[in-house]
Amino acid sequence: MDQLPKIESLLFVSGENGLTSDELATLLEIDRETLDYQLLRLKKRYENDQSSGLQLVTINHHYQLVTKPQFAEIIKQYAQSPFAQKLTQASLETLAIIAYQQPVTRLTIDDIRGVNSNGMIQKLEQRDLIKIVGKQESPGRPNLYGVTDYFYQYFGLNSLEEMPDLSTLLQKTNDEDQLFE
């Protein structure tokens, strides 16, 4: 049986970790010389196949399947799309603060969360869920953040009035905390 489909399958499931020659040879139960030949065949096949978006690379002695450089822009678009990423708890927390408090500065967000929110703000801006809506009239003129039209679309809202009432949410949280005391 041809080794190429096996190598391809193993490299696919290994993802960004990849596999070393020794790991591949052990898994496939073949000698290194045979493996090197098979890897060269696979590399050449991807290089010559214009209908494939993949290539075989070696990074730090690990073989990996990666996308060809000419597809970088479409991969970037995917990575920034809502299809690629779910919102983490930290990003949802930051987004909720911005939605309920807007316009709001990063320092105010940091004070409410108790941690630096710079990274979360950048991620939310990249995903087009928040934007800079102005500058605060204070020393340093910090940015003021608010939600975007895409925020409404993403959460299926027509306006902020459709968001749950914050006082109701806070009361539910307090009630739950009292249950565990």
Burial per residue of 107-119, b for 16 or more beta-carbon CB atoms within 10 angstroms, e otherwise:
ebbbebeeeebee
d(CA 65, CA 13): 10
The predicted-structure confidence for 29-45, as pLDDT tens digits, reads as follows: 999 999 999 999 999 99
Choices 1.10.10.10, 3.10.640.10, 3.50.50.60, 3.40.1190.10: CATH for 89-171: 1.10.10.10
How much is the pTM? 0.50
CATH code that applies to domain 4-71: 1.10.10.10
- Three-class SS state of 83: coil
Given this model, what pLDDT does residue 125 score?
A: 93
Mean pLDDT estimate for the chain: 87
Peptide bond into 164 cis (omega under 30): no
The predicted-structure confidence for 115-144, as pLDDT tens digits, reads as follows: 999 989 998 998 889 999 999 999 989 999
